[in-house]
Amino acid sequence: MSAAEPAPDGTPARRPRRELVEAQIYEQATRLFAERGFAGTSLQDIADAMGMTRPSLYYYVKNKDELLARLVTEITEAPAAATEEIAGRELDATTKLRELVGLIAGQQARHAARFQLVIRSESELPDDLAVAHQAAKRRVLDGFARVVDQGIRSGEFRPREVRTTALALIGMCNWVAWWFRPGGAQTPEEVAEQMAEMAVAMVAQAPDRLPESPRPDDPAAALSLLRQDLDYLERIITTTPSKD
């Protein structure tokens, strides 16, 4: 039996083979969608790239929308669920942020072509898939924002506008998909670890910062830090709904 031919149903030993063929199909679909666009790629094109007949391809996928839906789900839905899970853990904000950035940056390095495809295809997504895609992106943003806000309130992070900080962190992670090259000097895991450390350093409170005992040799810096805290406190007071 060739790799293009479907395996008989109910044969457990051939299940890994099916998964391998499916993975190859999604890789070919990703490449063709990226080269020709979603609308410009047919199932026949994908079958030809796989060296199989179109009827054989139907054994693995029903239509193009199913292929695109899986790609979008892998790139946005799965990270959204993982982001929510990490943000909800009973951990300090620094640990959470390190895990979040490692997760997203690592994914972008491992699946750069798929992420680029999803971004370029946003305007072509079917309505229901577009709604789910946007909802997943909001969930990722919300998760990052929760962690940033936790870190500011705990004193781990410098007081900055939460949403802007969260977007900056996500943008830093997403950009990996555009510059990372497989087989380069670093593995995806090494890139993810470095990005996580850089993200924490970007938002972390200065280690020598002691609000209750400002450095006597740098009163201007102490005043600047206090103004940051007061500005953030004022925003919380004016945006937090009253419980009365």
pLDDT in tens, 185-231: 899 999 999 999 999 999 998 765 444 444 445 566 556 656 666 66
Token pair in block for residue 115: 């992420």
Statement: residue 39 has pLDDT above 50: yes
CA 33/CA 27 separation, integer angstroms: 10
Tell the CATH topology of 1-61: Arc Repressor Mutant, subunit A (1.10.10)
Q: What is the pTM of this model?
A: 0.72
User: Which of 23-27, 36-40, 157-161, 233-237 bottoms out in mean pLDDT, i.e. has the lowest?
Assistant: 233-237
Topology of the domain covering 68-205:
Tetracycline Repressor; domain 2 (1.10.357)
Q: Tell me how far apart the alpha carbons of residues 70 and 239 are, in angstroms, rounded to a whole number.
A: 39
pLDDT digits (tens, 9 = 90+) for 52-83: 999 999 889 888 888 888 888 888 888 999 99
Domain coordinates of the chain in residue numbers?
Answer: 1-61, 68-205, 207-238
Q: Is 142 helix (H, G, I), strand (E, B) or coil?
A: helix
